[in-house]
Protein backbone atom coordinates (compact mmCIF):
# COMPACT_ATOMS: atom_id res chain seq x y z
CA UNK A 1 0.00 0.00 0.00
CA UNK A 2 2.78 2.39 1.02
CA UNK A 3 4.78 1.57 -2.09
CA UNK A 4 1.68 2.24 -4.17
CA UNK A 5 1.13 5.65 -2.63
CA UNK A 6 4.78 6.63 -3.26
CA UNK A 7 4.55 5.38 -6.84
CA UNK A 8 1.25 7.07 -7.50
CA UNK A 9 2.64 10.32 -6.20
CA UNK A 10 5.76 9.90 -8.32
CA UNK A 11 3.82 9.09 -11.48
CA UNK A 12 0.85 11.33 -10.62
CA UNK A 13 -1.75 8.59 -11.16
CA UNK A 14 -4.56 7.30 -8.99
CA UNK A 15 -4.84 3.79 -7.59
CA UNK A 16 -6.30 1.42 -10.17
CA UNK A 17 -9.48 -0.45 -9.31
CA UNK A 18 -8.91 -4.17 -9.15
CA UNK A 19 -12.11 -6.26 -9.11
CA UNK A 20 -12.85 -8.51 -6.16
CA UNK A 21 -12.37 -11.54 -8.36
CA UNK A 22 -8.92 -10.46 -9.42
CA UNK A 23 -6.25 -12.93 -8.56
CA UNK A 24 -2.96 -11.77 -7.11
CA UNK A 25 -1.39 -12.04 -10.51
CA UNK A 26 -3.96 -9.77 -12.11
CA UNK A 27 -2.69 -6.61 -13.67
CA UNK A 28 -4.29 -3.25 -12.81
CA UNK A 29 -7.26 -2.58 -15.05
CA UNK A 30 -7.02 1.18 -15.19
CA UNK A 31 -5.29 3.03 -17.91
CA UNK A 32 -2.11 3.70 -15.95
CA UNK A 33 0.45 5.57 -17.99
CA UNK A 34 2.56 3.37 -20.20
CA UNK A 35 5.59 4.11 -18.11
CA UNK A 36 3.91 2.76 -14.99
CA UNK A 37 2.58 -0.43 -16.60
CA UNK A 38 6.08 -1.10 -17.84
CA UNK A 39 7.46 -0.28 -14.41
CA UNK A 40 5.30 -3.07 -12.95
CA UNK A 41 6.35 -5.58 -15.58
CA UNK A 42 9.67 -6.40 -14.00
CA UNK A 43 9.72 -9.82 -15.63
CA UNK A 44 9.90 -8.31 -19.12
CA UNK A 45 13.07 -6.57 -20.13
CA UNK A 46 12.58 -2.85 -20.72
CA UNK A 47 12.86 -1.82 -24.32
CA UNK A 48 15.47 0.74 -25.20
CA UNK A 49 12.75 3.15 -26.36
CA UNK A 50 13.03 6.30 -24.26
CA UNK A 51 10.17 6.62 -21.78
CA UNK A 52 8.36 9.88 -22.01
CA UNK A 53 4.84 9.34 -20.62
CA UNK A 54 4.31 11.10 -17.30
CA UNK A 55 8.06 11.58 -17.00
CA UNK A 56 9.31 13.59 -14.09
CA UNK A 57 11.44 16.60 -14.80
CA UNK A 58 14.93 16.74 -13.33
CA UNK A 59 16.95 19.95 -13.60
CA UNK A 60 20.71 19.48 -13.58
CA UNK A 61 23.28 22.27 -13.27
CA UNK A 62 25.65 23.26 -16.04
CA UNK A 63 28.16 24.46 -13.44
CA UNK A 64 30.00 21.15 -13.61
CA UNK A 65 30.57 18.55 -16.29
CA UNK A 66 28.19 15.68 -15.64
CA UNK A 67 28.13 12.52 -17.73
CA UNK A 68 24.41 12.78 -18.36
CA UNK A 69 24.26 9.52 -20.33
CA UNK A 70 24.90 7.67 -17.09
CA UNK A 71 21.71 9.04 -15.53
CA UNK A 72 19.55 8.45 -18.58
CA UNK A 73 17.19 5.51 -18.76
CA UNK A 74 14.90 6.53 -15.92
CA UNK A 75 11.45 7.96 -16.48
CA UNK A 76 12.78 11.43 -15.96
CA UNK A 77 13.29 14.23 -18.42
CA UNK A 78 16.78 15.63 -17.85
CA UNK A 79 17.01 19.38 -18.37
CA UNK A 80 20.18 21.49 -17.99
CA UNK A 81 19.92 24.85 -16.23
CA UNK A 82 22.16 27.78 -15.37
CA UNK A 83 22.90 28.18 -11.66
CA UNK A 84 23.34 31.94 -11.95
CA UNK A 85 20.13 32.93 -13.73
CA UNK A 86 16.43 32.78 -12.86
CA UNK A 87 14.83 29.42 -13.68
CA UNK A 88 13.24 29.44 -17.16
CA UNK A 89 9.45 29.71 -16.99
CA UNK A 90 8.95 26.46 -18.96
CA UNK A 91 10.87 24.49 -16.31
CA UNK A 92 9.37 25.77 -13.07
CA UNK A 93 7.29 22.58 -13.02
CA UNK A 94 10.42 20.52 -12.23
CA UNK A 95 10.10 17.67 -9.73
CA UNK A 96 13.79 17.28 -8.95
CA UNK A 97 16.58 19.82 -8.65
CA UNK A 98 20.28 19.02 -8.60
CA UNK A 99 22.38 21.90 -7.21
CA UNK A 100 26.04 22.78 -7.41
CA UNK A 101 27.58 26.21 -6.75
CA UNK A 102 24.23 27.93 -7.36
CA UNK A 103 24.13 31.67 -6.75
CA UNK A 104 22.10 32.76 -3.74
CA UNK A 105 19.71 34.62 -6.07
CA UNK A 106 19.20 31.56 -8.25
CA UNK A 107 18.30 29.43 -5.21
CA UNK A 108 16.00 32.10 -3.79
CA UNK A 109 14.26 32.24 -7.17
CA UNK A 110 13.95 28.44 -7.11
CA UNK A 111 12.52 28.44 -3.59
CA UNK A 112 9.77 30.81 -4.76
CA UNK A 113 8.99 29.48 -8.22
CA UNK A 114 9.77 25.72 -8.25
CA UNK A 115 6.54 24.95 -6.44
CA UNK A 116 6.41 21.31 -7.54
CA UNK A 117 9.91 20.30 -6.57
CA UNK A 118 9.88 17.29 -4.25
CA UNK A 119 13.55 16.40 -4.00
CA UNK A 120 16.71 18.51 -4.07
CA UNK A 121 20.03 16.75 -4.50
CA UNK A 122 22.87 19.05 -3.50
CA UNK A 123 26.29 17.94 -4.69
CA UNK A 124 27.91 19.84 -1.81
CA UNK A 125 28.68 17.95 1.38
CA UNK A 126 27.19 20.81 3.40
CA UNK A 127 24.09 22.18 1.61
CA UNK A 128 23.85 25.36 3.70
CA UNK A 129 23.09 27.36 0.54
CA UNK A 130 19.96 25.31 -0.22
CA UNK A 131 18.81 25.42 3.39
CA UNK A 132 19.26 29.19 3.57
CA UNK A 133 17.38 29.83 0.30
CA UNK A 134 13.92 29.26 1.77
CA UNK A 135 12.90 25.89 0.29
CA UNK A 136 10.27 24.23 2.45
CA UNK A 137 12.30 21.40 4.00
CA UNK A 138 9.14 19.92 5.54
CA UNK A 139 7.79 19.15 2.05
CA UNK A 140 10.97 18.63 0.08
CA UNK A 141 13.50 15.85 0.55
CA UNK A 142 16.97 17.40 0.64
CA UNK A 143 19.96 15.15 0.10
CA UNK A 144 23.61 16.09 0.36
CA UNK A 145 26.69 15.25 -1.67
CA UNK A 146 28.36 13.73 1.36
CA UNK A 147 30.78 11.12 0.04
CA UNK A 148 31.56 12.92 -3.22
CA UNK A 149 34.30 14.99 -1.62
CA UNK A 150 35.92 12.46 0.66
CA UNK A 151 39.03 11.82 -1.36
CA UNK A 152 39.75 15.39 -2.43
CA UNK A 153 39.18 16.91 1.01
CA UNK A 154 41.15 14.13 2.73
CA UNK A 155 44.04 14.68 0.31
CA UNK A 156 44.01 18.43 0.90
CA UNK A 157 43.89 17.92 4.65
CA UNK A 158 46.86 15.60 4.49
CA UNK A 159 48.68 18.24 2.44
CA UNK A 160 47.94 20.94 5.02
CA UNK A 161 49.11 18.68 7.84
CA UNK A 162 52.37 18.05 6.00
CA UNK A 163 52.79 21.79 5.41
CA UNK A 164 52.37 22.28 9.16
CA UNK A 165 54.83 19.56 10.11
CA UNK A 166 57.45 20.32 7.42
CA UNK A 167 56.85 24.10 7.19
CA UNK A 168 56.74 24.35 3.40
CA UNK A 169 54.95 27.68 3.93
CA UNK A 170 57.92 29.12 5.80
CA UNK A 171 60.36 27.81 3.18
CA UNK A 172 58.37 29.63 0.51
CA UNK A 173 58.28 32.84 2.59
CA UNK A 174 62.07 32.75 2.83
CA UNK A 175 62.42 31.97 -0.87
CA UNK A 176 60.36 35.03 -1.80
CA UNK A 177 62.81 37.14 0.20
CA UNK A 178 65.80 35.45 -1.41
CA UNK A 179 66.80 33.97 1.95
CA UNK A 180 67.96 30.44 2.84
CA UNK A 181 65.81 29.03 5.70
CA UNK A 182 68.78 27.31 7.33
CA UNK A 183 66.87 26.48 10.50
CA UNK A 184 64.55 24.20 8.48
CA UNK A 185 67.26 22.31 6.59
CA UNK A 186 70.36 20.29 7.29
CA UNK A 187 70.63 17.92 10.25
CA UNK A 188 67.56 18.11 12.46
CA UNK A 189 66.53 16.50 15.75
CA UNK A 190 64.12 13.69 15.02
CA UNK A 191 60.68 14.56 16.36
CA UNK A 192 61.79 16.79 19.23
CA UNK A 193 59.60 16.98 22.32
CA UNK A 194 57.05 19.79 22.22
CA UNK A 195 57.20 20.34 18.47
CA UNK A 196 55.08 19.17 15.57
CA UNK A 197 57.59 18.16 12.90
CA UNK A 198 56.28 14.82 11.67
CA UNK A 199 53.07 12.86 11.49
CA UNK A 200 54.97 9.86 12.81
CA UNK A 201 54.09 9.55 16.50
CA UNK A 202 51.99 12.74 16.44
CA UNK A 203 48.69 12.91 18.29
CA UNK A 204 46.14 13.95 15.70
CA UNK A 205 42.63 14.75 16.91
CA UNK A 206 40.01 14.68 14.16
CA UNK A 207 36.91 16.62 15.25
CA UNK A 208 33.99 15.66 13.02
CA UNK A 209 34.35 12.01 12.21
CA UNK A 210 32.23 11.44 9.13
CA UNK A 211 32.95 10.30 5.59
CA UNK A 212 35.93 12.59 5.01
CA UNK A 213 37.56 11.57 8.28
CA UNK A 214 37.07 7.92 7.43
CA UNK A 215 39.01 8.43 4.19
CA UNK A 216 41.73 10.53 5.82
CA UNK A 217 42.50 8.55 8.95
CA UNK A 218 43.90 5.36 7.35
CA UNK A 219 46.48 7.57 5.57
CA UNK A 220 47.39 9.27 8.86
CA UNK A 221 47.70 5.92 10.57
CA UNK A 222 49.88 4.64 7.70
CA UNK A 223 52.20 7.61 8.31
CA UNK A 224 52.44 6.67 11.99
CA UNK A 225 50.05 9.17 13.61
CA UNK A 226 48.04 8.37 16.72
CA UNK A 227 44.54 9.31 15.62
CA UNK A 228 41.53 9.93 17.84
CA UNK A 229 38.16 11.10 16.53
CA UNK A 230 35.54 13.37 18.08
CA UNK A 231 31.88 13.14 17.10
CA UNK A 232 28.46 13.42 18.69
CA UNK A 233 28.47 9.79 19.71
CA UNK A 234 31.41 7.76 20.94
CA UNK A 235 32.52 4.36 19.69
CA UNK A 236 35.04 2.63 17.48
CA UNK A 237 34.68 3.68 13.85
CA UNK A 238 36.84 2.19 11.10
CA UNK A 239 39.23 0.99 13.78
CA UNK A 240 39.65 4.48 15.29
CA UNK A 241 38.53 5.44 18.78
CA UNK A 242 35.94 8.19 18.49
CA UNK A 243 34.99 10.08 21.64
CA UNK A 244 32.32 12.64 22.39
CA UNK A 245 33.01 16.33 23.04
CA UNK A 246 33.02 15.97 26.81
CA UNK A 247 36.43 14.31 26.44
CA UNK A 248 37.97 17.41 24.79
CA UNK A 249 39.43 18.91 28.01
CA UNK A 250 41.37 15.69 28.47
CA UNK A 251 42.49 15.34 24.84
CA UNK A 252 43.23 18.90 23.68
CA UNK A 253 46.32 19.35 25.94
CA UNK A 254 47.86 16.20 24.38
CA UNK A 255 47.12 17.19 20.77
CA UNK A 256 49.86 17.99 18.24
CA UNK A 257 47.46 18.62 15.35
CA UNK A 258 43.75 19.33 15.59
CA UNK A 259 41.88 18.62 12.36
CA UNK A 260 38.36 20.03 12.17
CA UNK A 261 35.92 18.54 9.65
CA UNK A 262 32.63 19.73 11.12
CA UNK A 263 29.54 20.80 9.21
CA UNK A 264 28.33 24.37 9.53
CA UNK A 265 25.30 24.64 11.77
CA UNK A 266 24.23 26.56 14.85
CA UNK A 267 25.45 23.62 16.96
CA UNK A 268 28.97 23.94 15.56
CA UNK A 269 29.28 27.75 15.69
CA UNK A 270 32.55 28.72 17.42
CA UNK A 271 32.95 25.31 19.02
CA UNK A 272 36.68 26.00 18.87
CA UNK A 273 36.55 29.05 21.14
CA UNK A 274 39.15 30.93 23.21
CA UNK A 275 38.80 28.52 26.12
CA UNK A 276 39.41 25.43 23.99
CA UNK A 277 42.26 27.05 22.07
CA UNK A 278 43.92 27.71 25.46
CA UNK A 279 43.77 23.99 26.19
CA UNK A 280 45.91 23.17 23.15
CA UNK A 281 49.71 23.03 23.60
CA UNK A 282 51.66 26.04 22.27
CA UNK A 283 53.22 23.90 19.51
CA UNK A 284 49.91 22.48 18.22
CA UNK A 285 48.59 23.25 14.76
CA UNK A 286 44.97 23.65 13.73
CA UNK A 287 43.79 22.45 10.32
CA UNK A 288 40.18 23.36 9.48
CA UNK A 289 38.56 21.97 6.34
CA UNK A 290 34.97 21.76 7.64
CA UNK A 291 33.25 25.15 7.92
CA UNK A 292 34.74 28.46 9.05
CA UNK A 293 31.95 29.19 11.50
CA UNK A 294 33.19 26.42 13.81
CA UNK A 295 36.27 28.48 14.77
CA UNK A 296 36.30 31.76 16.71
CA UNK A 297 38.65 33.55 14.33
CA UNK A 298 39.39 36.46 16.68
CA UNK A 299 40.42 34.07 19.45
CA UNK A 300 42.53 32.13 16.95
CA UNK A 301 44.33 35.28 15.71
CA UNK A 302 45.07 36.26 19.34
CA UNK A 303 46.50 32.83 20.15
CA UNK A 304 48.69 32.76 17.04
CA UNK A 305 50.03 36.27 17.47
CA UNK A 306 50.76 35.70 21.16
CA UNK A 307 52.60 32.45 20.36
CA UNK A 308 50.07 30.33 22.26
CA UNK A 309 49.48 28.11 19.24
CA UNK A 310 51.97 26.68 16.75
CA UNK A 311 50.06 27.60 13.62
CA UNK A 312 46.89 27.13 11.62
CA UNK A 313 46.13 26.01 8.09
CA UNK A 314 42.58 27.01 7.23
CA UNK A 315 40.65 26.08 4.12
CA UNK A 316 37.37 27.57 5.34
CA UNK A 317 36.48 30.91 6.91
CA UNK A 318 33.55 32.59 8.57
CA UNK A 319 33.28 34.91 5.57
CA UNK A 320 34.59 33.81 2.17
CA UNK A 321 36.50 35.16 0.38
CA UNK A 322 38.40 36.18 3.51
CA UNK A 323 37.79 39.95 3.83
CA UNK A 324 40.81 42.21 3.30
CA UNK A 325 40.33 43.58 6.83
CA UNK A 326 40.55 40.15 8.49
CA UNK A 327 43.30 39.81 11.08
CA UNK A 328 43.90 36.27 9.85
CA UNK A 329 45.83 37.47 6.79
CA UNK A 330 48.67 38.69 8.99
CA UNK A 331 48.35 36.22 11.87
CA UNK A 332 51.60 34.41 12.71
CA UNK A 333 52.06 30.99 11.07
CA UNK A 334 48.70 31.02 9.36
CA UNK A 335 48.21 29.38 5.97
CA UNK A 336 45.21 30.60 3.98
CA UNK A 337 43.80 27.98 1.63
CA UNK A 338 40.92 29.44 -0.43
CA UNK A 339 38.23 26.77 0.17
CA UNK A 340 40.19 24.57 -2.17
CA UNK A 341 39.88 21.17 -0.47
CA UNK A 342 36.74 19.97 -2.21
CA UNK A 343 35.12 21.78 -5.09
CA UNK A 344 35.16 18.84 -7.51
CA UNK A 345 32.53 16.25 -6.65
CA UNK A 346 33.70 12.80 -7.64
CA UNK A 347 31.12 10.19 -8.66
CA UNK A 348 28.21 12.67 -8.70
CA UNK A 349 26.44 10.77 -11.49
CA UNK A 350 26.51 7.56 -9.44
CA UNK A 351 24.86 9.28 -6.47
CA UNK A 352 22.25 11.01 -8.63
CA UNK A 353 21.40 7.78 -10.47
CA UNK A 354 21.18 5.76 -7.25
CA UNK A 355 18.96 8.33 -5.56
CA UNK A 356 16.83 8.73 -8.69
CA UNK A 357 16.30 4.98 -8.75
CA UNK A 358 15.37 5.01 -5.07
CA UNK A 359 13.10 8.04 -5.53
CA UNK A 360 11.18 6.32 -8.32
CA UNK A 361 11.01 3.10 -6.30
CA UNK A 362 9.69 4.96 -3.24
CA UNK A 363 12.71 3.88 -1.22
CA UNK A 364 14.59 6.04 1.31
CA UNK A 365 17.20 8.19 -0.39
CA UNK A 366 20.90 8.33 0.47
CA UNK A 367 22.26 11.35 2.40
CA UNK A 368 18.95 12.81 3.50
CA UNK A 369 19.62 15.74 5.85
N1 LIG B 1 36.64 22.43 2.50
C2 LIG B 1 35.90 21.89 1.57
O3 LIG B 1 36.11 22.10 0.39
C4 LIG B 1 34.83 20.93 1.99
C5 LIG B 1 34.38 19.97 1.08
C6 LIG B 1 33.44 19.06 1.49
C7 LIG B 1 32.91 19.13 2.78
N8 LIG B 1 33.33 20.11 3.63
C9 LIG B 1 32.76 20.22 4.98
O10 LIG B 1 33.06 19.05 5.71
C11 LIG B 1 31.91 18.71 6.48
C12 LIG B 1 31.97 17.25 6.85
O13 LIG B 1 31.82 16.45 5.67
P14 LIG B 1 31.57 14.87 5.79
O15 LIG B 1 31.22 14.42 4.43
O16 LIG B 1 32.67 14.21 6.51
O17 LIG B 1 30.26 14.90 6.69
P18 LIG B 1 29.56 13.76 7.48
O19 LIG B 1 29.90 12.43 6.92
O20 LIG B 1 28.14 14.16 7.59
O21 LIG B 1 30.22 13.85 8.95
C22 LIG B 1 30.02 14.94 9.81
C23 LIG B 1 30.65 14.63 11.14
O24 LIG B 1 30.51 15.76 11.99
C25 LIG B 1 29.94 15.34 13.21
N26 LIG B 1 29.08 16.40 13.75
C27 LIG B 1 28.02 16.96 13.18
N28 LIG B 1 27.51 17.90 13.98
C29 LIG B 1 28.29 17.90 15.08
C30 LIG B 1 28.28 18.63 16.27
N31 LIG B 1 27.35 19.56 16.50
N32 LIG B 1 29.24 18.38 17.18
C33 LIG B 1 30.16 17.43 16.96
N34 LIG B 1 30.22 16.69 15.85
C35 LIG B 1 29.29 16.93 14.93
C36 LIG B 1 29.14 14.12 12.90
O37 LIG B 1 29.01 13.39 14.10
P38 LIG B 1 28.24 11.97 14.18
O39 LIG B 1 29.04 11.06 13.29
O40 LIG B 1 28.30 11.57 15.59
O41 LIG B 1 26.87 12.25 13.64
C42 LIG B 1 30.03 13.45 11.86
O43 LIG B 1 31.03 12.72 12.52
C44 LIG B 1 30.75 19.10 5.57
O45 LIG B 1 29.55 19.32 6.31
C46 LIG B 1 31.24 20.36 4.93
O47 LIG B 1 30.84 21.46 5.72
C48 LIG B 1 34.27 21.02 3.25
Q: What confidence tens digit (pLDDT) does each residue in 66-79 have? A: 999 999 999 999 99
Ligand 1 geometric centre to CA of 168 (Å): 28
Whether 5 shows a pLDDT value over 90: the answer reads no
244 lines ligand 1 (CB under 6 A): no
158 lines ligand 1 (CB under 6 A): no
Whether 11 shows a pLDDT value over 60: the answer reads no
- CATH topology agreement for domains 3-148+346-361 and 150-336: yes
Show me where the domains of the chain are located: 3-148+346-361, 150-336
Q: 126 or 171: which carries more pLDDT confidence?
A: 171
- CA-to-CA separations, 56 to 79, 88, 93, 349, in angstroms, rounded: 11, 17, 9, 18
What is the pLDDT, as a whole number, of residue 46? 36
What is the pLDDT, as a whole number, of residue 54? 60
Ligand 1 geometric centre to CA of 307 (Å): 29
Note whether 181 and 171 are within 8 A (CB): yes
Indicate the fold that domain 150-336 takes in CATH. Rossmann fold (3.40.50)
Q: Which of 43, 93, 51 is nearest to 72 (CA)?
A: 51
Ligand 1 geometric centre to CA of 353 (Å): 23
- CA-to-CA separations, 305 to 105, 190, 299, 309, in angstroms, rounded: 38, 27, 10, 8
Strands ordered across the beta sheet of 56-61: 76-81, 56-61, 96-99, 119-122, 141-143
Q: 44 or 338: which carries more pLDDT confidence?
A: 338
Indicate the fold that domain 3-148+346-361 takes in CATH. Rossmann fold (3.40.50)
Whether 284 shows a pLDDT value over 90: the answer reads yes
In 10 A of CB 149, how many CB atoms? Answer: 25
217 lines ligand 1 (CB under 6 A): no
Rounded to the nearest 10 degrees, what angle do helices 211-222 and 150-166 cross at?
A: 40
Amino acid sequence: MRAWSRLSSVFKISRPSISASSSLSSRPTTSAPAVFTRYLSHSRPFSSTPLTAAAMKLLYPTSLKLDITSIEGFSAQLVPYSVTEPFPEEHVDADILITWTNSADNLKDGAKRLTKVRWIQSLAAGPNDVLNAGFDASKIIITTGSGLHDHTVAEHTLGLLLVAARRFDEMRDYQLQGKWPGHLGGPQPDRPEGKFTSLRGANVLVWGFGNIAKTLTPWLVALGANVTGVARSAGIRNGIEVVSEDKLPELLPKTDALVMILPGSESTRHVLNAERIKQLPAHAWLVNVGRGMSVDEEALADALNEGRLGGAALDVFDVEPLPAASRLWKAKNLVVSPHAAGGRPQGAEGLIAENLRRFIAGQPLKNVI
